Amino acid sequence: MTENRTVVLLLLLAAILPAFAGGQYVMHLLIMTFFYAMLSTSLNLIVGYVGELSLGHAAFFGLGAYASAVLSLEAGLPFFACLPVAGVVAGLAALLIGSITLRLEGHFFVLISLAFAEVLRYVVINSIDLLRGPLGYPNVPAPRLSLGGTVLADFSSKIHFYYLGLALLALTLLAAWRFARSSYGLGAIAVRENRRLARAVGIDPFRHALVAFVVGGALAGLAGSFYAHYLTFVGPEVLGFGFTLSALMMVVIGGRGTLLGPLLGAAVVGITLELLRSVNEARLSIFGILLVLAVIFLPDGLVSLAARWRRPTLEADQATAALDSPLRP
Amino acid sequence: MLLGDILQFALNGVVTGCFYALMALGLSLVFGLMNIVNFAHGALFVLGGMLASEATNRLGLPFWAAVPAVLLVMWAVGVAIEGGLLARMRDAHILPVTLVTIGLSTFLVNTMLMLFGTEPKNVETGFSGPPFFLGDVIISQSRVLAIGVSAVAILATWVLIAHTRAGRAMRAVFQQPEAAALAGIPIARVHRFTFALGTTLAGLAGILLGAVFVVHPNTAEPAAVKAFVVIILGGIGSLPGAVLGGLLLGLAESLWGGFVSTGYMDAVGFVLVIAILLFRPSGLLGAPAAREG
Amino acid sequence: MLDLRRFLAGLVMLGASASAAIAQPQSVRIGVIEPQTGPVAFDGTSVLRGARLAAEEINRAGGVLGRPLELVIADGACRPADSVAAAERLITSEKVAALMGAFCSGATQAVMPIAERNRIPLVTGVSSLPTLTEAGNRWFFRNAETDAVLAAAFARGLVEQTKAKTVAFLAVNDDWGRGTVGAFRGVFERLGVTISMAEFFDHSASDFYTPLTRIRSARPDLVVVVAETQAAATLVKQARELRLSSRIFGVGAWSTPTFLNLVGSAANGLLAGVAYTATAPGDLNAAFVQAYRAANNEDPGKYSASGYTTMHLIAQAIARAGSTDAVAIQTALEATDYTGPTGNLRFDGKHQVYGLQLYVVEIENGRPEVRGTARIERAD
């Protein structure tokens, strides 16, 4: 169970990090890393555990962001009330979309998931009266944590968002871990590995995929709510393909179907993009090349590197990865 | 609403439909045969337009000389991408392969922005004379050119697939990859040929886009996404489906924009995709979309 | 534990790059957040060209406060998240004295609270959403016309000049397109002009035959088009192909060389309302056009001019402040009185610029000829 321990250790390290590393910008990068780690962990439930390529994940993230922005600005609800609602809204959307699309064969699922997200984006862009269309929602208020009459944290400082993000990330990872260990998670993995065999032992692939889809969608909604209140602006771009692509990148670079993978992916992609700022215009070109190389040489992600390190041969490598996995039945 | 308007909408739809069909043709072959969700398809499409713009504007080549030259380059680019990247990942999971095409697309789009500048470009065709009139319906010379070239390209692709050895090998690999390999068909070469063909078709669509409209690296992603819509409408791996799906999407968008609202024009395709997969899950012409179980 | 080490190594490198940046005390640094990639990359790059020219001029004349002016440029991609990240980096690790940006109104809105929290002046030369200056953010300044101001300045004159009774709108489907249509519509309706339709298109749209066919059938006297270079160029060519008889009035970068090159002779007869044109009268503009041509081999457009004047007025404010102290710069910006190629610029109580010259141009033989001018007056 080294992977779980590594994850816990990383979270603990992150919790004491502000004592050593300061700087608003580093804080901001870390907060965004937490956010992306949440988003990619939620996507990982679908692409990693169920093994379906979902290109519409931004729909759930975006719905969460919009739900939170609208509730706090129009209804005046506090962040800690908006957050769960955002998760529920996104989860319900995932239930609706998933129950329609997950019955379709893989190729078709890839594209129809994207179609749903894009339709949603166009609906938002064109709903001027209801959702302010392309104008979006500026000035989404910061959270406020109070007990009785005393304000514990007013989130005027980055450190508050840092710990909020870390807490939500821990919650997301816990949910993902619980899911992966549950009968649904194990069933989903069985379906991913061998669909026919799984059916033969009585696992309903659709139901297992749907549960993963709903949990993943709800977690993306929570990430959306956090994003809305941290960045203070929500517009139709939150429903755009870009967020799905970023999350997908992180899942694959880190290692799909693992708990640690999306976490590593978010950190590594974020840091790489930051370090590449020194090359100015060539930044994204070089990033594209790095992405291609990373995937070609490490198709199973950074997580597989650790296994390779310990055992020299490829076969032993895979065996170790399988044994290390906390997801083994 | 005048009859002339309806005909004009329909004709507009046919023109955009030709672009969609050309784009989708290549993508559908690659998706169906190689099982690759090729996100770089849009970037390759823009690359064709950009190269043709450089050839006709900067080098001053005539359109008819520029087109074959650019298509040749595109073929070579396709061979290089397949040989250098995709061939290494033939047995990999769909996810890493998709990500490789995303990385490739990021690289291509941003490198084009660096090399060719951020401004939109056009392709000089020499067909800028007065438009043709058919009653109230108007069509410009460059659009007639685009329809003509698309028709020829679609026909040529059909002949290639239906009546040549290479085409037979492609069909065999698409229908029964294992059996095709057992029968001695060189799968690796078929894949390379297919990808190069797809890249060239995308490049041709880009050239025509630059000839009729303008071409810009931003159009890469929306164009790729549209092409995916088309192959769902038509059916994955189906050549007539890609053409039919392209024309259908072009017409549907144009008529929707004409009679209802242009704000939702780009959403029409996605709504159609959802509707078709719900009611006729195999696409218009194609294999079943529902799982066996 | 290999991965953990990598993670920490990355963090250390980040910290190192941040401290390297601080160890350069002699220059006055201005952060510039503009889109260099994404849907408005072309216009964002134009802003940068203008800003760079201004910085060169300032440095040739001895810099500010006796120190060279240094632009720290970051790509905001017109996206809120990217622009916020850029602002955080420019403020905390690049230690800029002031910020310029972030082009798209949505991105600017996301950056505004960061400027406020860090007490750093933020000047936009582009974002036109009227509510930006209504938020009461005292660190934010706008050196650009708003949608509403532009409509107020042009709508009445346009109706009088073209004697239009019916108008159709065709605009890009974003905050700027929607906002401009809303503002023009209000004035037109008050003048008793009939609005026959308002159609919106996507940023990446390239075929406009469908909405243009509808407009052709409706036969409005005037079509108001809100579009940036790429869409505007295709749209005008297609309008000509379809023999649209209505007069076209364009809002956006309609007098830039790229636009005119792409459209060619089809541009003749177009009317456009612009906050800048290279053919505007005045010695200051002539000098700017000459310098810009020498540096970039083409005429400046609206965005180049906005980048140029915004950088100049920031530098002047720093010079007047006498230091790079943020409060001093903010106070100096409030007292801005800068005369440049776009007019005599000052900020009102809400930090909205006034004194900006607006032009109605008509394209004649591929050249934008000034047909009328308006000046943005103090609004508050």
Tell me which chain C residues have a C-beta less than 8 angstroms from the C-beta of B58.
Answer: none
User: Residue for token digits 């195999």?
Assistant: B282
At A80-127, the pLDDT tens digits run 999 999 999 999 999 999 998 888 877 788 888 888 999 999 999 888
> Using CB atoms, which residue from C18, C74, C174 is nearest to A134?
C174
Per-residue pLDDT of chain B (293 residues; tens, 9 = 90+): 578 888 999 999 999 999 999 999 999 889 888 888 899 999 999 999 999 999 999 999 999 999 999 999 999 999 999 999 999 888 888 888 989 999 999 999 999 998 998 888 889 888 877 888 887 788 888 899 999 999 999 999 999 998 999 999 998 888 888 888 888 889 999 999 999 999 999 999 999 999 998 898 888 888 888 898 898 888 777 888 899 999 999 999 999 988 888 878 888 889 888 888 777 666 666 655 555 44
Q: Across-strand partners of C28?
A: C69
Are the Cβ atoms of C1 and A29 closer than 8 angstroms? no
Interface test with B, best of C209, C226, C237, C243 (most B CBs within 10 A): C209
**Of residues A55, A43, A179, the one with CA closest to residue A106:** A55
A231, pLDDT greater than 50: yes
Are the Cβ atoms of A268 and C10 closer than 8 angstroms? yes
| CATH code of B58's domain | 1.10.3470
> Using CB atoms, which residue from A10, A26, A283 is nearest to C4?
A10
What average pLDDT score do residues C23-33 get? 81
- In a domain? residue A329: no
Q: Does A303 touch chain C (CB under 8 A)?
A: yes
Question: What's the per-residue H, E or C state across chain C?
Answer: CHHHHHHHHHHHHHHHHHHHHHCCCCCEEEEEEECCCCCCHHHHHHHHHHHHHHHHHHHHCCCECCECEEEEEEECCCCHHHHHHHHHHHHHHCCCCEEEECCCHHHHHHHHHHHHHHCCCEEECCCCCHHHHHCCCCCEEECCCCHHHHHHHHHHHHHHHHCCCEEEEEEECCHHHHHHHHHHHHHHHHCCCEEEEEEEECCCCCCCHHHHHHHHHHCCCEEEEECCHHHHHHHHHHHHHCCCCCEEEEECCCCCHHHHHHHHHHHCCCEEEECCCCCCCCHHHHHHHHHHHHHHCCCCCHHHHHHHHHHHHHHHHHHHHCCCCHHHHHHHHHCCCEEECCEEEEECCCCEEEEEEEEEEEEECCEEEEEEEEECCCCC
Tell me which chain A residues have a C-beta less than 8 angstroms from the C-beta of C17.
Answer: 275, 278
Are the Cβ atoms of C202 and B265 closer than 8 angstroms? yes
CATH code, residues C2-144+283-347 = 3.40.50.2300
- Predicted local confidence at residue A323, as pLDDT: 42
What average pLDDT score do residues C36-53 get? 90
- Predicted local confidence at residue B234, as pLDDT: 83
Residue B3's closest chain C neighbor by CA? C217
C318, pLDDT greater than 50: yes
- Tally of structural domains, chain A: 1
Token readout for B287 is 């294999």
The proportion of chain A whose per-residue pLDDT surpasses 70, expressed as a percent, equals: 93
Q: Does B84 touch chain A (CB under 8 A)?
A: no
> Using CB atoms, which residue from C173, C213, C217 is nearest to B263?
C173
- In a domain? residue B289: no
The proportion of chain C whose per-residue pLDDT surpasses 70, expressed as a percent, equals: 93
- In a domain? residue B170: yes
**Domain carrying residue A85:** 2-324
Q: How far, rounded to the nearest angstrom, does the alpha carbon of residue C214 sit from its chain's CA centroid?
A: 31
Token readout for C37 is 């990639």
- Tally of structural domains, chain B: 1
- In a domain? residue A207: yes
At C242-251, the pLDDT tens digits run 889 899 999 9
CATH code, residues C148-274+360-375 = 3.40.50.2300
Confidence of residue C24 (pLDDT cuts 50, 70, 90): very low
- Predicted local confidence at residue B285, as pLDDT: 61
- Predicted local confidence at residue B232, as pLDDT: 82
- In a domain? residue A220: yes
Confidence of residue A275 (pLDDT cuts 50, 70, 90): confident
Q: Does B253 touch chain C (CB under 8 A)?
A: yes
- In a domain? residue B288: no
- Predicted local confidence at residue B281, as pLDDT: 63
Cα separation, A203 vs A196, whole angstroms: 10
A306, pLDDT greater than 90: no
Confidence of residue A39 (pLDDT cuts 50, 70, 90): very high
**Domain carrying residue B143:** 3-279
Q: Locate the domains of chain C by residue range.
A: 2-144+283-347, 148-274+360-375
Tell me which chain A residues have a C-beta less than 8 angstroms from the C-beta of C40.
Answer: none
**DSSP assignment of chain B:** --HHHHHHHHHHHHHHHHHHHHHHHHHHHHHHHH----TTHHHHHHHHHHHHHIIIIIS---HHHHHHHHHHHHHHHHHHHHHHTGGGGTTS-HHHHHHHHHHHHHHHHHHHHHHH-SS-B----S--SPPEEETTEEE-HHHHHHHHHHHHHHHHHHHHHHHSHHHHHHHHHHH-HHHHHHTT--HHHHHHHHHHHHHHHHHHHHHHHHHHS-B-GGGHHHHHHHHHHHHHHH-TT-HHHHHHHHHHHHHHHHHHHHHT-STTGGGHHHHHHHHHHHHSTT-SSSS--B---
Token readout for C303 is 């965005």
Q: How far is B268 from chain A (nearest CA, A)?
A: 8
The count of other CB atoms within 10 Å of the CB of residue B243 is 26
Are the Cβ atoms of A104 and B236 closer than 8 angstroms? no
Q: Does B89 touch chain A (CB under 8 A)?
A: yes
**Comparing C170 with B118, which gets the higher pLDDT?**
C170
Q: How far is A92 from chain C (nearest CA, A)?
A: 26
Q: Mark residue C368 as left, alpha or beta (left: phi above 0; alpha: psi -120 to 50; beta: remaining).
A: beta
At C81-103, the pLDDT tens digits run 899 999 999 998 889 999 998 89
Mean pLDDT for chain A?
A: 87
A227, pLDDT greater than 90: yes
Interface test with B, best of A46, A97, A112, A192 (most B CBs within 10 A): A112
Are the Cβ atoms of A104 and B290 closer than 8 angstroms? yes
Confidence of residue A316 (pLDDT cuts 50, 70, 90): very low
> Using CB atoms, which residue from B8, B217, B253 is nearest to C213?
B8
- Predicted local confidence at residue C336, as pLDDT: 95
Q: Does A126 touch chain C (CB under 8 A)?
A: yes
Are the Cβ atoms of C205 and B1 closer than 8 angstroms? no
Interface test with C, best of A231, A278, A290 (most C CBs within 10 A): A231
Token readout for A144 is 């406020």
- Give me the interface pTM, i.e. the ipTM: 0.89
> Using CB atoms, which residue from B15, B218, B258 is nearest to C39?
B218
Are the Cβ atoms of B258 and C214 closer than 8 angstroms? yes
Please say whether the beta carbons of C150 and C197 come within 8 A: no
Tell me which chain A residues have a C-beta less than 8 angstroms from the C-beta of C74.
Answer: 277
| CATH code of A17's domain | 1.10.3470
Are the Cβ atoms of C173 and A126 closer than 8 angstroms? yes
Please say whether the beta carbons of B47 and B291 come within 8 A: no
Q: Which B residues, 213 through 232, put their C-beta within 8 Å of a C-beta on chain C?
A: 213-214, 216-219, 222
Are the Cβ atoms of C36 and B254 closer than 8 angstroms? no
Confidence of residue C19 (pLDDT cuts 50, 70, 90): very low
Are the Cβ atoms of A288 and B221 closer than 8 angstroms? no
Q: Which of A39-48, B18-27, C20-29 has the lowest mean pLDDT?
A: C20-29
List subunits contacting chain B, requiring 3 or more Cβ pairs under 8 Å. Answer: A, C
Cα separation, C129 vs C304, whole angstroms: 20
Are the Cβ atoms of C113 and A275 closer than 8 angstroms? no
Residue C72's closest chain A neighbor by CA? A280
What average pLDDT score do residues C165-175 get? 92
The count of other CB atoms within 10 Å of the CB of residue B134 is 11
Confidence of residue C1 (pLDDT cuts 50, 70, 90): very low
Tell me which chain B residues have a C-beta less than 8 angstroms from the C-beta of A125.
Answer: 263
At C120-155, the pLDDT tens digits run 999 999 998 888 999 899 999 999 988 888 888 888
Q: Which B residues, 184 through 213, put their C-beta within 8 Å of a C-beta on chain C?
A: 209, 213
- In a domain? residue B192: yes
Are the Cβ atoms of B214 and C214 closer than 8 angstroms? no
Q: How far is C278 from chain A (nearest CA, A)?
A: 28
Q: How far is C65 from chain B (nearest CA, A)?
A: 35
- In a domain? residue B285: no
Interface test with B, best of C43, C78, C206 (most B CBs within 10 A): C206
Q: How far is A231 from chain C (nearest CA, A)?
A: 6
Coil, strand or helix: which one is A255? coil
- Predicted local confidence at residue A310, as pLDDT: 62
- Predicted local confidence at residue C262, as pLDDT: 87
- Predicted local confidence at residue B2, as pLDDT: 75
Token readout for C38 is 């994404």
Q: Sign of the CA dihedral B237, B240, B244, B246?
A: positive
Tell me which chain B residues have a C-beta less than 8 angstroms from the C-beta of A245.
Answer: 102
- In a domain? residue A285: yes
Q: Does A22 touch chain C (CB under 8 A)?
A: no
- Predicted local confidence at residue A141, as pLDDT: 92
Alpha carbons within 13 angstroms on the beta-carbon side of residue C261 total 15
Are the Cβ atoms of C241 and B140 closer than 8 angstroms? yes
Are the Cβ atoms of B270 and A115 closer than 8 angstroms? yes
- Predicted local confidence at residue A325, as pLDDT: 44
Coil, strand or helix: which one is A233? coil
